[in-house]
């Protein structure tokens, strides 16, 4: 039922402690200590005693934990030997519901439920609970499970920082050698003893005849005839420029003579 962390990447797991509950009358939401590197808009998995305990999210620089009894706790799971896929959602104390199970999978009471690891929240094959009831709806099946986590004593949790698939089994960086690709040797030509030497010479002569000789190709191919054809010079028709219109001279304005003083005496 329980798994160990001896083969899991230690760098991707952090420890977090419970500070308090979010509400006094609710035992499904808690406030956790924030490890280094935790970012917002990311869902982190919470593991308690090697079983799934819930999820955690960062909001307003505070890490909140949603246990398996809370409806905000959602992750992907596999059910039974056929590993029927589904989405586990928190329902109530020690109870979760797994929705969206395809109808063609056979799910029975008593089947074990483990994480699938396909949602990048938990590692694969972490225990979640046992199926207690199965219902069939219009489009899919629904399974009710009893969870393993102890939600009434949330003290210490393992926080999964990164659940991406890595080499965690039989891997040693000091003993692993990187293979070097070398080109394959060229095939050797093996002479055939059944063919006589005269046939070989005939074949070689035929191949030599079939190949065009480069020396037979002239260095320059002149496709123009020997006679030179002088092109006719086109005669352009010179058009005399039109005379510019002469502007008429302006007539001088008539100016009246200045009045002379009259001598009356």
pLDDT tens figures, 170-185: 555 555 444 445 555 5
Within-domain flag for 231: no
Domain tally, the chain = 1
- Is it the case that residue 218 has pLDDT exceeding 80? no
β-bridge pairing 112-115 and 74-79:
antiparallel
Say if 44 falls within a structural domain: no
Model confidence at 7: pLDDT above 60? no
pLDDT confidence tier of residue 1, bands split at 50, 70 and 90:
very low
Q: Write the CATH number for 108.
A: 2.40.10.350
Question: φ and ψ at 49, to 5 degrees?
Answer: 55, 45
How far is residue 231's CA from residue 92's CA, in Å, rounded to a whole number?
A: 103
Answer whether residue 247 is part of any domain: no
Q: Has residue 61 been placed in a domain?
A: no
* 141: containing domain: 74-149
The reply to whether 134 falls in a domain is: yes
Quick check: is 27 in a domain?
A: no
pTM (2 d.p.): 0.60
Contact 51, 146 (CB under 8 A): no
Residues with Cβ within 8 Å of residue 147, at least 6 apart in sequence = 51, 52, 68, 69, 94, 95, 96, 128, 129
Residue 39 within a domain: no
Is position 37 within any domain? no
User: Quick one: tokens of 33?
Assistant: 């200590």
Q: Which helix (H) or strand (E) holds 11?
A: none
Cβ 57 vs Cβ 16: under 8 Å: no
């Amino acid at each position: 039922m329980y798994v160990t962390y001896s083969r899991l990447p230690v760098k991707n797991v952090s420890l977090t402690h419970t500070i308090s509950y979010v509400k006094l009358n609710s035992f499904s939401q808690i406030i956790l200590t924030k490890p280094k590197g935790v970012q917002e808009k990311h869902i982190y998995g919470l593991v308690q005693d090697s079983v799934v305990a819930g999820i955690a999210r960062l909001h307003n620089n505070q890490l909140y934990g949603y246990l398996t009894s809370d409806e905000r706790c959602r992750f992907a799971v596999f059910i039974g030997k056929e590993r029927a896929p589904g989405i586990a959602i928190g329902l109530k104390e020690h109870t979760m519901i797994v929705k969206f199970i395809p109808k063609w999978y056979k799910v029975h009471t008593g089947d074990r439920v483990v994480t699938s690891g396909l949602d990048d929240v938990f590692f694969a094959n972490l225990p979640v609970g046992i199926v207690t009831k199965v219902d069939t709806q219009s489009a899919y099946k629904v399974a009710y499970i009893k969870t393993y986590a102890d939600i009434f004593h949330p003290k210490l949790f393992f926080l999964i920082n990164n659940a991406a698939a890595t080499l965690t089994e039989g891997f040693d960086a000091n003993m692993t050698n990187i293979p070097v690709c070398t080109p394959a040797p060229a095939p050797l030509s093996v002479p055939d003893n059944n063919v006589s030497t005269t046939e070989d010479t005939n074949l070689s002569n035929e191949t030599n005849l079939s190949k065009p000789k480069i020396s037979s190709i002239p260095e320059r191919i002149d496709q123009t005839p020997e006679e030179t054809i002088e092109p006719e010079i086109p005669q352009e028709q010179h058009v005399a420029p039109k005379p510019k219109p002469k502007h008429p001279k302006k007539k001088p304005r008539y100016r009246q003579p200045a009045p002379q003083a009259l001598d009356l005496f």
